[in-house]
Chain A
């Protein structure tokens, strides 16, 4: 089993990228499981034609406990046999979403689910806000990470934070395959390259801003399925190949910036 965790700031395109990657992995005959680790539980929506997935947290609530929860209670098969799981979580402002993630991974492990997949794609909420969201990293579940980033300071700041977490857990086999630049404006192109350089990583791909992505989202389908031969689909196909080969690379740990360095980086004039 290989695992790829997609981290990045909220709204940055993680779910879009994760779902399209899952589609391409599945096309390569890899048994793929996508786990949405976001209380918003919309990670796999386009893979299940917009069907409502029972989240793991809901399943725990219904059974009263997460102990030996059968996989049927929370696993749903999406297109091309992609396994779809949503962790779910509390409403905003209450509860402990981190514990939701922790419980989700425990339930998945207890159901021996990972045995049946070649590849697990985890779509993890935003910044690593609390220990719970770092769970995929701490327990070594996420071997490979990619960070979705745009050219806005907030997004890059989050990327830097995620690098810190990756480095912290690198001893567990966690590594950063690279950044995926998403929806970059023309003037911001150089910035992501500079960021990658600063972080000691590389830009794996640039997903262009594509209004068809939003259209596909409205139709509850990944762009790579709506337009299998489109240029954006091509980008994902290449990215998918690059990720698979990068899984075998030996990759140096990222070099996150200190907060001061981060500020200085944002203050720099664009080239």
Chain B
């Protein structure tokens, strides 16, 4: 037997923990939480549950402690203090032999119940001949044919726990924790009062070490070949691979493809959202970090909003949720400039304003590279601002527990839940979805034209909309939605959600006919008495347009299409609503569609050619300036490009070096602007590109082909 000085009494450790936390008792619970009891011994104890990550999604992640924690049934100020305290205890906990604050993350499965079971998984809780629970000392494990036994011994009794893989048909008196089930084999159950504690401690430690924990922070490094590192979290596997594919396809172009993968067109908004809300009925700060490191600070003056806004956080243990009233969304979004130069003055002002309100508790929580890299010292600011505020508790939890990749659809949905719904609808007020951002040339043009008909445009929704737009959204009478697939699809979630709003689908306005169709539909739907002839809208641009069309007619645009991409040409809604074939011809260009094989080196199938022919026969599409060619097998893509007469080549991977190396110019979907003016601007630019002859200039400047390695290019000076 070990010398008694080495023995660690677990009950002492919990007693110590209680003292550290100013509680009069700390009790391990079988679900992995720790219950602290507060109050004078004369009155009924006030319990505070400290949840472990095994029980909760989210919560506070505290520096110095593994896992994340949340306290319940305690006012916010005290909670904040408690968690700070816990962080301190966590820092000093290494002196103890048993780590009651430990929580293993990523404990999903047990390969086998082997002899090393305890040392491998439970070593923070049990050590052979060291860990003492009441009268019982843990003495080791033994592997049996189909199970494992953990042994405990007191001076009189021997006790063992049987551990098996958890199965559905296991009897009710077994405790199941994650992948295992266990049960105590005791001969004289009443013999010892320490047994109760032992049972609970077993379950507690198993919960902490083995439970199938929904990992609170999953840091996923993008390791795909071309991917950038981007932490992202998704519980759903499908969505995860979608996000992965999205990011990958954004950063690398697949071989011989000139169109993006279909899923990359989904308007997704990758946000890492960090939140902490332990405010009694005060303020919680919500800090979102965009994919590009831009930051949005949302201040929610009621934490329940947070729960609504991000349904993933519905399970968060809020304190006294019934006391949260209706609140309004308050927003502070630092500008890109503030982020780049690390300007924190606005943030400081904002925090001051929040803190100076009575009874407000601020809990700030942040993560990702941004706050640290930018040197914005949230912690310092809060400390400075709250030093003299007796009624303010602040908790700083670095590296927050929550982040999410929120597809735009659910983000909008959440946001709309959080804004006011009591606004009455106003007539002659319309919203635009996916038809240009607020302040964009398209938006200004549409506003001006509709204004002549007495219609006001209320809110513009595009992927990068500012959250304030959501507030105004509900006031409008009707909403025009772009038919572009990515817009319609993302918005469809919301569409079903917001009742009483009239929705009208419109094709995004591109090209003279497209624009006129767009504006006549708009004016018609708004059923204004004011008659505006759409043709008259285009008139001012007509002459310049015709000149450009004449110049464009000398040039050819090539579109390289694999069979799987052909729908992009036939169904404009798939390609941001750009009707590429018709639009280019309307602009005056000759269009050459080149059919590539499905895979490099394969025989051509002529699928694209056949499909296009069928399409042209069936529809009224323009075809007088359209040609289709099929690439014979085994012609490398650079040879195909080299031999083109076209001066412009379409790609969704701009700037596309395959095209540029062949001396051609790339054009991409952003070349096709919306609106009347946009249409003219687009053609102006395309004609200029077509006429620029960059390739020729480069060749003349000395681009003779040589082959690498044949001769040394080095020159000694």
Please report A residues at the B interface, Cβ cutoff 8 Å: 1-3, 25, 28-31, 57, 60-61, 64-68, 89-91, 93-100, 102-103, 112, 114-116, 118-119, 130-132, 134, 138-141, 143, 168-169, 171-173, 178, 202-206, 208, 231-232, 234-235, 238, 240-242, 244-252
Given contacts A206-B716, A238-B715, A248-B705, 4 further A-B contacts (CB under 8 A): A1-B694, A90-B374, A240-B702, A247-B661
Q: Is B611 an interface residue (CB 8 A)?
A: no
What CA separation (Å) do A97 and B340 show in the bound complex? 6
Contact call B340/A95, Cβ cutoff below 8 A: yes
Q: Is B293 an interface residue (CB 8 A)?
A: yes
What CA separation (Å) do A97 and B342 show in the bound complex? 9
Provide the residues of chain A in CB contact with B654, threshold 8 Å.
140
- CB-CB under 8 A for A94 and B374, given A1-B655, A168-B225, A247-B698: yes
Contact call B226/A171, Cβ cutoff below 8 A: yes
- CB-CB under 8 A for A114 and B655, given A57-B340, A246-B708, A247-B661: yes
- CB-CB under 8 A for A115 and B657, given A30-B701, A98-B293, A246-B713: no
Contact call B657/A173, Cβ cutoff below 8 A: yes
Contact call A96/B293, Cβ cutoff below 8 A: yes
Partner of B341, one of A66, A95, A178: A95
Partner of B342, one of A94, A115, A234: A94
Interface stretch (choices B103-111, B480-488, B500-508, B684-692): B684-692
Provide the residues of chain A in CB contact with B702, threshold 8 Å.
28, 240-241, 244-245
Contact call B713/A204, Cβ cutoff below 8 A: yes
Q: Is B191 an interface residue (CB 8 A)?
A: no
Q: Mark B644-662, 1 if CB is under 8 A from A, else 0.
A: 0000000001111110110
What CA separation (Å) do A31 and B701 show in the bound complex? 11
By size class, the interface of chain B is 35 or more
Interface stretch (choices B21-29, B79-87, B331-339, B589-597): B331-339
Q: Is B700 an interface residue (CB 8 A)?
A: yes
What CA separation (Å) do A260 and B375 show in the bound complex? 33
Provide the residues of chain A in CB contact with B369, threshold 8 Å.
130
Provide the residues of chain A in CB contact with B335, threshold 8 Å.
64-65
Q: Is B533 an interface residue (CB 8 A)?
A: no
Provide the residues of chain A in CB contact with B705, threshold 8 Å.
245, 248-249
Q: Mark B201-228, 1 if CB is under 8 A from A, else 0.
A: 0000000000000000000000001101
Q: Is B19 an interface residue (CB 8 A)?
A: no
Contact call A96/B373, Cβ cutoff below 8 A: yes
Contact call B685/A115, Cβ cutoff below 8 A: yes
**B226, B705, B706: residue with the most chain A Cβ atoms closer than 10 Å:** B226
- Interface residues in B677-699 (C-beta closer than 8 Å to A): 685, 688-689, 692, 694, 697-698
What CA separation (Å) do A139 and B656 show in the bound complex? 10
Contact call B708/A252, Cβ cutoff below 8 A: yes
A43 to chain B, nearest CB (A): 18
Chain A residue nearest in CB terms to B373: A96
- CB-CB under 8 A for A246 and B292, given A61-B337, A96-B340, A103-B336: no
Contact call A95/B714, Cβ cutoff below 8 A: no
Provide the residues of chain B in CB contact with A178, threshold 8 Å.
713
Q: Is B520 an interface residue (CB 8 A)?
A: no
What CA separation (Å) do A114 and B692 show in the bound complex? 12
Provide the residues of chain A in CB contact with B229, threshold 8 Å.
131
Provide the residues of chain A in CB contact with B441, threshold 8 Å.
68
What CA separation (Å) do A215 and B294 show in the bound complex? 42
Chain B residue nearest in CB terms to A208: B717
Provide the residues of chain B in CB contact with A90, threshold 8 Å.
340-342, 374
Partner of B251, one of A138, A143, A242, A246: A138
Provide the residues of chain B in CB contact with A247, threshold 8 Å.
661, 698, 703
Q: Is B439 an interface residue (CB 8 A)?
A: yes
B285 to chain A, nearest CB (A): 20
Chain B residue nearest in CB terms to A169: B226
Q: Is B239 an interface residue (CB 8 A)?
A: no
What CA separation (Å) do A134 and B230 show in the bound complex? 14
Q: Is B94 an interface residue (CB 8 A)?
A: no
Chain A residue nearest in CB terms to B376: A94
Chain B residue nearest in CB terms to A238: B715
- Interface residues in B510-537 (C-beta closer than 8 Å to A): none
B344 to chain A, nearest CB (A): 9
Q: Is B349 an interface residue (CB 8 A)?
A: no
Chain B residue nearest in CB terms to A3: B655
Provide the residues of chain A in CB contact with B706, threshold 8 Å.
245-246, 248-249
Contact call A171/B698, Cβ cutoff below 8 A: no
What CA separation (Å) do A92 and B82 show in the bound complex? 37
